[in-house]
A = this chain, B = another copy of it.
Amino acid sequence: MTNYYGEHSKVWVSVDCIVFGFEEDKLKLLIGRRQMDPGRGEWSLYGGFVGADESLEDAANRVLFQLTGLKKLYMKQVGAFGAIDRDPGERVISVAYCALINVKDYDDKLREKFNLEWVSIDELPKLYSDHNEMVRDAIKLLRRRIKTEPLSFNLLPELFTLTQLQHVYEAILDNEIDKRNFRKRIKQIAIIEKTDLIDKLTSKRGATLYRFDRKAYDEDHSFKL
């Protein structure tokens, strides 16, 4: 192989994963105690180095799979972070990825194995390196995208009630939404499908369960909430 770029220096590149979940009507983040030096023991996102033979997306998916046991997660790049001294050990450029998972699908054994915690985004501790910045940017990205993309379903089980769905929007956007207006809008957009199942866990009367209608969404991408 010809050595084209030999005179330039190489750097380590890592990916860091911002894993969001939804629990107790709050948007939560999966973080853990860093298990390596430097920074051992600090709260941190979970990450990994990008291998010579894997793309950035592959690396992010690999890390997410290790972490959650799940493939095909909703995942989006947040951005590259490249300050010289962002990592206290060596020069490392990191690309942040944000993923949404349904906490119910998540294997709690993995949580224990990696010593992870679900932490509410408004109670986040100081994280390792520039990870707080990454989280901030990821939240901005979510807030923008949730208005035009059906992100919210990734945070919920397949079947969910309209109240749960509304709580997801409220948690991400951090404001209250009027119940009637919310339901009106949801019903105008034909991308959620009513089932004849009733959820009786959260109320005595019971609430109708809905599911995301991916087919309808694929046919009509125009979507505003």
> Which residues on A are within 8 Å of B, measured CB to CB?
1-5, 8-13, 36-38, 49-57, 59, 77, 79-84, 89-93, 95, 144
Q: Which chain B residue lies CB-closest to A79?
A: B77
Q: Which chain B residue lies CB-closest to A6?
A: B90
Q: What are 8 of the A-B contact pairs (CB < 8 Å)?
A: A4-B38, A4-B89, A5-B90, A53-B84, A55-B82, A55-B84, A56-B81, A56-B82
* Minimum distance in angstroms from A4 CB to a CB of chain B: 4
Assess whether B50 is in contact with A93, with CB atoms less than 8 Å apart.
Answer: yes
**How far, in angstroms, from A51 to B4 measured CA to CA in the complex?**
16
List the 5 closest pairs (A to B, CB-CB), nearest first. A56-B82, A10-B10, A8-B49, A4-B89, A80-B80
Assess whether A91 is in contact with B52, with CB atoms less than 8 Å apart.
Answer: yes
Chain B residues within 8 Å of A50, by CB: 11, 82, 93
Chain B residues within 8 Å of A10, by CB: 10-13
Assess whether B12 is in contact with A8, with CB atoms less than 8 Å apart.
Answer: yes
Assess whether A82 is in contact with B95, with CB atoms less than 8 Å apart.
Answer: yes
